Amino acid sequence: MLDIIYRCEMLDAPARPRPADSAAALRRLSEGNRDFAALLDDSVGANVRAQRIVPVDVRDLGLGAGGGKSPDQHPFAAILGCSDARVPLELIFSEGPNDVFVIRVAGNILGSEVLGSLKYAIDHLSGSLKLIVVLGHSGCGAVTAAVDVFLSPSQYLPLATQHSLRAILDSLLIVVQASARQIQSSFGPDVVARPGYRAALIEASIATHAALGAYSIQQEIGAGAPADLQTVYGVYLLESRRVWAPRVGDMTGTGLAEVPRDHAMFAELGKAILQSERIASLLAR
């Protein structure tokens, strides 16, 4: 059994400390996800009740001194994630109200509305905002659909006149195509016949798509961004409830990772994704 409790302390309790910089913000999200995942690990088959308390500042709910007024918005991170109901962003990072600025859209696609929302956060919440996160997730339905269209183009025909769905698929197909080329150049053309090829292509595309989203945001906000604002990416694994982010020189890739700084580093990351334990194990099936 387990309890996840959102606990409001007394009205005069000190406010929960907020991350002072991007490194502290990254640490807080990483620890929050680690605690969430560990809580569920501990609860499996245990006779004792596992418990995680997420402190909530009553002032963030409009209570306390100056009650009745709307609280100021002061998130320390902006997170772009998928709409998938299995990936509740505040919950998986052990965060509460007024902690994270959340944008969720199917396939965590970086459209103009999403970018506009992020720009709003950067322009208006820069006093508290330290981190931008792009979070994909394993088994993403949007990416899976794009992979299946790529592997079997006839599946595109029923979608050809559905412009709203096509907008999502079309933007993902580029990443899927690039991932497929990368897999074939790394493992040879025969790799497409392996039983695990489709699953590996889906998961490699999900990781590449999250990293590319973060990279694009970093390039887009460019020089206008506050100096201490960092952009990171990751993939939430539904099966382990942990965030995974393949990176150069790390085959395991636990937790969120810094986005590559330039095109050359991004190309290196593409290779690292395929060399990761997760993708290698899918291809080895």
* Smallest gap from residue 65 Cβ to Zn ion (A): 41
d(CA 30, CA 49): 23
- Number of other residues whose CB lies within 10 A of the CB of residue 207: 30
Question: Is there binding between residue 82 and Zn ion (CB under 5 A)?
Answer: yes
At 192, list the tokens. Answer: 């497409």
Residue 103 or 140 having the CB closest to Zn ion: 140
Q: Per CB under 5 A, does 168 bind Zn ion?
A: no
Interacting span for Zn ion (CB under 5 A) from 81-89, 156-164, 182-190, 247-255: 81-89
Least spacing, CB of residue 134 vs Zn ion, in Å: 12
Selected binder of Zn ion within 84, 95, 99, 203 (CB under 5 A)? 84
Stretch that binds Zn ion, among 34-42, 121-129, 134-142, 269-277 (CB under 5 A): 134-142
Residues forming beta bridges with residue 79, ordered by sequence position: 102, 133
Q: For Zn ion, which residue of 80, 140, 145, 221 counts as binding (CB under 5 A)?
A: 140
Q: Give CA 194 to chain center in angstroms.
A: 29
For residues 132 and 76, the answer to whether their CB atoms sit within 8 Å is: no
Question: What are the structure tokens assigned to 260, written together?
Answer: 């590559």
Smaller CB distance to Zn ion: residue 77 or 82?
A: 82
Closest to Zn ion by CB, 28 or 137: 137
Residue number, 118 or 172, with CB nearest to Zn ion: 172
In this chain, which stretch among 11-19, 53-61, 133-141, 256-264 interacts with Zn ion, using CB under 5 A?
A: 133-141
Decide: helix, strand or coil at residue 7. strand
Which residue in 181, 184, 276, 186 sits closest to 237, CA to CA?
276
84 vs 99 by CB, closer to Zn ion:
84
User: Hey, which residues does 5 pair with through a beta bridge?
Assistant: 53
Total residues binding Zn ion (CB under 5 A): 3
Q: Judged by CB under 5 A, does residue 203 bind Zn ion?
A: no
User: 53 burial class (0-12, 13-18, 19+ CB within 10 angstroms)?
Assistant: exposed
Candidates 191, 174, 202; CA nearest to 278 is 202
Residue with tokens 């006839």: 154
Span near Zn ion by CB under 5 A; candidates 12-20, 83-91, 165-173, 245-253 = 83-91
Q: Which residues bind Zn ion (CB under 5 A)?
A: 82, 84, 140
